[in-house]
Structure 1
Amino acid sequence: MPTVPNSPARQPRVQPPGVVCLDTALKALAGDARRGTWTATPLERRIAELLSMAAAGGGLPTVQQVRAALWEGAMTLIQENGGRFAALLADLVTVLEEMAVAPDGEDYLAGYEAARETYGFITATAEAPEGPDTGPGSGPADPGPADHAAH
């Protein structure tokens, strides 16, 4: 394809900051869960279950639902397991708020994709078997961006 003189060069798309934070946190936590170096505690699984059930009808949790889940876990959720699950939920709130401000366009789509993948991880965490051991290996077996549209 010939190059058109004086045409503006297409710059790479810059993701909204909230999406970058959420995506980074999700990849790190999901990767550790797959490797067995992070496992959801019973409280984290319970919070994930509550959030998963609350959001089941709409496909994605709302800002209010995520805030309620964080409130339900209180200080214990922040302290357990290094607070990584709570931090992931806090990053999700930021993205959901950004989506509400810009309900269309590329920023919305980037936020939607990041939120959808995060909701998939939350659902996988809620469905993780609760074994007698809460150590490595009892968390979600595959917290990746699987198809969770049915939830």
Structure 2
Amino acid sequence: MNLKALFLIFLMALISFPGFSQETIDSELYLTLKKNDSLLFAEGFNHCRIEAFEHLISEDLEFYHDKGGLTTNKEDFLNNVRNNICSSPDKKPIRKLVPGSLQVFPLYRNGELYGAIQKGQHEFFIKEPDKELYQTSTALFTHLWLLVEGEWKLKRVLSYDHKN
């Protein structure tokens, strides 16, 4: 069998593998990760309630940001939120998930769910006293969630394609 034929067989197996299909928006996994997204952003990023989401963050989190660089652990990530996102009540960043953009893809090992990829698009705004909320940028994100002892942990984050 030639290399081209092997590649085609591998590609067909990959495409047909059920673990690579997107979750429906009413599935338990999709709803769980959408809730986690809300804890991270609506509670944490927008309202600076860090305690609402810190239990979701893996100790060895890796956060790759196309403008802000790399963060390689939970402590530094939480400090960045405190010191950058939540440090100025007079000019507060706000994040909104673009409706309909959230996708969730389960990850299986030997038929058992062990993680998921969550991706979507979000918009960023600035909230200032006595001013209308105004948009500053849009971006794409991809999150790798792992199921660890029955708890979802955010392990890897890609935040990219930031546009003004």
Taking structure 1 as the reference length, what is the TM-score of the superposition? 0.26
Q: Which has the higher strand share?
A: 2
Taking structure 2 as the reference length, what is the TM-score of the superposition? 0.25
Q: Which has the higher helix share?
A: 1
Q: Identify the structure with bigger relative contact order (alpha carbons < 8 Å, sequence gap 6+).
A: 1
